[in-house]
A = this chain, B = another copy of it.
Amino acid sequence: MKPVNVGICGLGTVGGGTFNVLLRNADEIARRAGRQIIVQQIGARRDNPACNTHGTAITRDIFEVATNPDIDIVVELIGGYDVAFKLVMTAIENGKHVVTANKALIAVHGNEIFEAAQRNNVMVSYEASVAGGIPVVKAIREGLSANSINWLAGIINGTGNFILTEMREKGRDFADVLAEAQALGYAEADPTFDVEGIDAAHKLTILASIAFGIPLQFDKAYTEGISKITAEDVQYAEELGYRIKHLGISRRTENGIELRVHPTLIPEKMLLANVNGVMNAVMVDGDAVGQTLYYGAGAGAEPTASAVVADIVDVVRNLAAENEGRVPPLAFQQDELSSTPVLPMTETETSYYLRLHAVEKPGVLASITKILGDNGINIEAIIQKETAEYQVPVILLTQRVKEQTMNDAIAAIEALDDIIGQVTRIRVEQLQG
């Protein structure tokens, strides 16, 4: 059969990696796909010294690739929302299949893109947009298709996990580790996307959509970063038998879908708690399968290329059978997405770790526990630290309660005369049922 022609747009880290993997493993990939896969053209503003393109045609105008009549599959690896969106829509309107690693693009413009793809009878694949090389989109969309999914929780930002791992293992402070991560190239000069959870929220939005059959709704995601986590919180969590991880969590409830990214205490014995450094992992709980976990590198040139190329092979395997619509892009058929609402954060329910500083005098703890009790919040554990100072840190673990109730209780506690400063609140999940 004649080869399939691929056009790669963007020759940065992932673009270079994709070219290199396609070249190095060309024979083995063709043995799997049933056809040779040829990079026919590259669209890139500049060359990549880490990628010898062996004379492959390079254009500085990426839109040339999207309209090139010789090309079957356009691989979008330029990143960002605007140009990437135009590029992908142009490719689709020109009858090209599209493979992308762009989480922001899918989370924000995915609904529109998939509609255009259906109209034009082409495939749009995006495995690499979530958790790099881990085939977790495929696992949820195809591997767990028997299940009514209860919840999923993932470490889906390597930078954040590297920082939290270093803080725990070496007792270091956030700012200190962030500076090192930037020096190592794990964190961007502007770390906001990673550290404040926006990158994770993009990925979580995609995972929630394919798990629960709802449209992509990035604007409904609650996002809280890790920049306020202190070395002492990490230490207290440890004393309580927990580790702090920056999780994306989505859960089906009676009233809607929870969709939230925030630092989370989870029991230290769980596999998820032991995913360290820049590694990613996603845990999925289905009603039939129970709990499953998918682990691997969430970023990097070749891990991400692994997912991009797997998507290309998927497209090729479908092309061979003239089967453009086999797996719906969001797991559920496009006219079968549900209007189940995404819950506002105030309506989600979880347990809480609270750290507060109180003036050391009798009755303060009683005032705090009374406020919690009056709000119907049960206490699971209390640590009150001995200290020579005028103020004492108090750490509380609560049972599950609605976020709004906890907001009210925290406001009341902060209003007490003997409480100094603000209450630190970190959510706690057992991830058991």
Contacts and interface: CB of A to CB of B under 8 A. Distances in A.
Contacts of A288: 17, 21, 25, 133, 302-303, 305-306, 309
A293 B292 contact: no
Which 8 residue pairs are nearest across A and B when measured between Cβ atoms? A135-B143, A146-B309, A292-B296, A321-B323, A133-B289, A323-B323, A289-B306, A31-B336
Interface string A110-122: 0000000000000
Interface residues of A, number: 67
B146 A135 contact: no
Contacts of A341: none
A145 interface: yes
Contacts of A286: 133, 306
Among A133, A275, A336, max chain B CB count under 10 A is at A133
Contacts of A317: 326-327
A66 interface: no
Contacts of A271: 271, 274-275, 295
A34 B295 contact: no
6 contacts: A145-B314, A147-B306, A271-B295, A288-B306, A289-B306, A317-B326
A284 to B, nearest CB: 9
Contacts of A305: 146, 288
Contacts of A7: none
Contacts of A306: 144, 146-147, 286, 288-289
Given A28-B213, A142-B313, A303-B289, A321 B332 contact: no
A294 interface: yes
B297 A146 contact: no
A192 interface: no
A134 interface: yes
Contact of A145 (B33, B274, B300): B33
A402 interface: no
A320 interface: yes
Contact of A292 (B274, B295, B302): B295
B310 A321 contact: no
Contact of A294 (B147, B292, B327, B328): B292
A144 B34 CA distance: 16
Number of this chain's copies in the assembly equals 2
A91 to B, nearest CB: 21
A332 B303 CA distance: 21
Among A33, A292, A312, A324, max chain B CB count under 10 A is at A292
A331 interface: yes
Nearest to A294: B294
B142 A139 contact: no
Contacts of A34: 328, 333
Contacts of A145: 29, 32-33, 309-310, 313-314
Contact of A293 (B296, B303, B323): B296
A148 interface: yes
Nearest to A136: B143
A376 interface: no
A127 interface: yes
A417 interface: no
Given A24-B148, A146-B306, 15 more contacts: A25-B147, A32-B328, A32-B331, A133-B286, A138-B138, A143-B310, A271-B295, A274-B274, A287-B302, A288-B302, A289-B296, A289-B297, A289-B302, A290-B303, A320-B326
